[in-house]
Amino acid sequence: MRRVLFALLPLVGAADSLAKGAGIAAQGLLAIGAFVLLLPLLRRHAQGSAYWLAALLMAAGLCSIAELLGGAFFHDLQNALQPWTALLAVPCLLLAAQTEDAAGDGLLGVLAFTATALALGGLREILGSGTLLADADWLFGPLAAEWVLHVTSRPATLFALAPGGLILLGLLLALRRRLRPPYRERT
């Protein structure tokens, strides 16, 4: 469980608005999802240090593809996400470290990553700036600039910053732990 928390690193920095959360979620869905699908092929053909080198190159390549696609279709959004896209390789390498029987949880992990990115981005935007969909024009074009919802007139700026993201991520993880049965390590 503790290693899985490293997979959430890109979310703390990137998901400070719903649009950025959707962007990092889409790129994570592409990069991590493709990695999960390609990982069994890699396990079949490489072992030892060759496996780790191939996994690292595959993760870096998939993150680069996600970054290039983001820049091609959502240029302004990708400019805001650029430093964080490369960190999507961390969850990929954590999936590579899992055993083959635990790798089946990879697709569920990708969906959980996506849901967490959207929830964290939305909460941070509402609490940190008092709006929702403020950057929707990055995703949907200039017409979406009018979609801004003003939720509160007294935002708490802490939540727009990285420490506030860590606080909200901790609260989301605590809520998950409360709603789900305890996590048991596989032996």
Instruction: Write phi, then psi, for 81 (nearest 5 degrees).
Output: -95, -5
Stated as kind and residue range, the H or E segment containing 21 is helix 18-45
Q: Which domain holds residue 18?
A: 2-179
Instruction: Please give the tally of structural domains in the chain.
Output: 1
- Tell me the C-alpha distance between 136 and 154, whole Å: 21
Report yes or no on 187 lying in a domain: no
Q: What percent of the chain has pLDDT over 70?
A: 91
Q: What is the pLDDT of residue 119?
A: 93
* Residue keyed to tokens 């949880």: 105
Work out the widest C-alpha separation in the chain, in whole angstroms. Answer: 57
Q: Which of 35, 152, 45, 183 is nearest to 97 (CA)?
A: 35
Q: What is the pLDDT of residue 182?
A: 66
Q: What is the pLDDT of residue 179?
A: 87
Report yes or no on 31 lying in a domain: yes
How crowded is residue 163: how many other Cβ atoms within 10 Å of its Cβ? 10
Q: What is the mean pLDDT of residues 110-127?
A: 91
Report yes or no on 68 lying in a domain: yes
Count the residues in the chain.
187
Each residue of 25-84: pLDDT tens digit? 999 999 999 999 999 999 999 899 999 999 999 999 999 999 999 999 999 999 999 889
Report yes or no on 65 lying in a domain: yes
Report yes or no on 185 lying in a domain: no
Q: What is the pLDDT of residue 95?
A: 87
Q: What is the mean pLDDT of residues 113-133?
A: 92
